[in-house]
Structures are given as C-alpha cells and as structure tokens.
Amino acid sequence: MASTVSDFGLSCGILPAGAHNAITDVPGVRVGHCTLRNGDINTGVTAILPHGGNLFRKKVTAASHVINGFGKTIGLTQVQELGSIETPVLLTNTLSVGTCATTLIRDAIRQNPDIGRTTGTVNPLVGECNDGPLNDIQALAISEEHALAALADAHEGEVEQGNVGAGTGMTCFGFKGGIGSASRRIALGGGHHLGVLVLSNFGRPGDLVLPDGRRPTSGQPAGDERGSVMIVLATDLPLEHRQLERVARRAGAGIARLGSFWGHGSGDIAIAFSTGNLVDHDESRDLVPLLALNEARIDILFRAAAEATQEAVLNSMLSAEAFTGRAGKHRASLADWLRDQQR
C-alpha cells in the first residue's frame, strides 16, 4: 500500500492540505497514467488536464520557470511568451517527448479541425526526466497509444503516486522516485487551493534531508547531482501570467529544502497554471476583463508552493516501492528505510 508523508509523522510546513492532498484538489484538474513494466521496459506517461473541456478553445493562464535548464521539454517558449496553456501537460521519459507532442497535436486537431487551416497551430506541452538507469530508454517503447491511454485515464479525485506513469523508472536521491502530489488550502477570496504534481528523478544520494532533520541513506554511491524534476503547479485563484511565474519560481525552495542544490546535470523545471482566468481562443472583443490577485496577498502562495513541492517529492518517494529495473539495477524504497528506523 502506498505511503505518504503523514503516515510517518512528518510535516512539510504549516498550511493545511486539501481533501485529497493532491493537485486534483484544484477543481476541474484531472490526472491520468499509462504504465509500462515488462522486463527492461519500465516507463510510462502521466497526463495533467487543467480542465475537462476543449483546452485549445478555452486556454488556462500559465507561466513556467527554469530552475536549471538541463532538460528537453516542448512548448515552454510559447507558454512564457503568450502566458497560456492550450493542451494537456504530458510527462514522460526523455526520448519520448516527440511522440507525446505528436499525440497532443493529433488530439487537438481531432477536437479542432480548423487548427493549421483557418486558425493558428497548436502548442503541445511535454516535460521529461531520464529514466535510463531503470528503463531501456533506447527501445523507444512509448507509443501514441500509450499517451492517449494516459489522457483517457485522467480523472478527478485521488492521484495514484509512486511507480506509475512517467514515474515508473525514476530515481530520487538514490531511492526510488516517481510521481508525487500534494496541495494546500489557501484562505483567500472565500477559499482556494494550490496543488502540485512532481515527476521526481533528481538529487545526489546522501543529500536528502527529511523535515525532521534525518538524512536517509539509500545504499547508492554518491556522485554528481543529475536526473531532473518536473513540477506542475495548479491553482483556482485568478493569477495573471507574471504572478504565476513568481509562484512557479518558489517551487525551487521546495526542492532545496530536501537537500538539492540544482546540480549541473539536472533539469529542474516548473510549470504553473490558473483555472481562475480562461483565455478564449475565439475572443472578439478589443478589451477583456481580467481578475487578478492583490499582489500584497501573494506570500501565502509562495509558502504553499514551497511546502506542497517539498511534500509532493517526499510522497513520490514514500509511495514508491523498492524496484529492480533494467539490467538488475535496484532502487530501495524510502518508506522501507523509515519503517526500519521505527523498529
């Protein structure tokens, strides 16, 4: 059974979590997975849908922040330039980014036959981490059907975490990493949420610091910090693009609390979006109203981003079972290490 931070009496900050303690506590947000485990193939796709409608027609306000740029994402430049997301976000392994992007393009064209004909093209958004140590990444096992399966699996409510979807073959601080999520309730404007989902594949073995100060050892040799982490933040508070970029930047504080220093070989990237301001692709008005957070209230979101990111990474590790992957390479479970400490 998957474990989380609360099962071990650990606490990441002071803000309360949402009902599911997941990115899906933001109303309308959906998460789905497709997992591949077959011998040396240990990989997958994770899909994050900001809402259940046509994202090309009703885009969400968005921003990104590159903490360290050793990554191979698709779509970040347009997100930063136009401040919106117009497809689901797919996460996968490094060499499957192109396949997932093609899937998103085909799916957008299916819903919007005018794309590239009578209206603009579409900007697919895909993030990645390198699962090569535990997965035969050269096999290029991810197909468009797998990406479509992750999209079809997307649902509200509980988020499956650990060795699932894009997280199947990931490593974090020498332990088994994967998919993790967490959320915080925000007491602004009648009550809102900020949720985080991470794909954790970063951190130097021996550098992990738990919230209580303990430093777990995975048995893996210490080396350079490399790997990557993708961080997706969502909120139903109405934030404009610049505010979302500021919030995304604070995700770096969350991974720093864990002992990461964002090493040279790590791609650490955050994407943030708000469902509180939708962008109409077919807008005809010259001037459009925009509701935005009072900037003097933004500190609580900065805190929420740091706390939820820290907890999401720990949940990714605690939900992940011990794992033997490609060529017999093994990764221990952080949950098993903590259980051993309790004996």
**Domains parsed from the chain with CATH numbers:** 5-281+291-342 (3.60.70.12)
3-state secondary structure of 323: strand
Compute the distance between CA of residue 141 and CA of residue 249 in angstroms, rounded to an integer. 33
Active-site choice (266, 274, 319, 333): 266
3-state secondary structure of 301: helix
Compute the distance between CA of residue 56 and CA of residue 123 in angstroms, rounded to an integer. 9
Measured CA to CA in angstroms, residue 84 lies from 75, 97, 123, 194, 272 at distances of 11, 20, 10, 18, 10
Active-site choice (268, 316, 319, 333): 268
Q: b or e along 283-302 (b: 16 or more beta carbons within 10 Å of the residue's beta carbon)?
A: eeeeeeeeebbeeeebebbb
pTM of the model: 0.98
pLDDT score at 260: 95
Give me the tens of pLDDT residue by residue for the chain, a chain 343 residues long.
588 999 999 999 999 999 999 999 999 999 999 999 999 999 999 999 999 999 999 999 999 999 999 999 999 999 999 999 999 999 999 999 999 999 999 999 999 999 999 999 999 999 999 999 999 999 999 999 999 999 999 999 999 999 999 999 999 999 999 999 999 999 999 999 999 999 999 999 999 999 999 999 998 988 888 889 999 999 999 999 999 999 999 999 999 999 999 999 999 999 999 999 999 999 999 999 999 999 999 999 999 999 999 999 999 999 999 999 999 999 999 999 999 998 8
The secondary structure element, H or E, covering residue 300 is helix 299-318
DSSP state, 49? E
pLDDT score at 1: 58
Check if 268 is active-site.
yes
Q: Look at strands 229-235 and 267-280 and give their pairing.
A: parallel
pLDDT score at 226: 81
Active-site choice (228, 260, 274, 333): 228
Check if 183 is active-site.
no
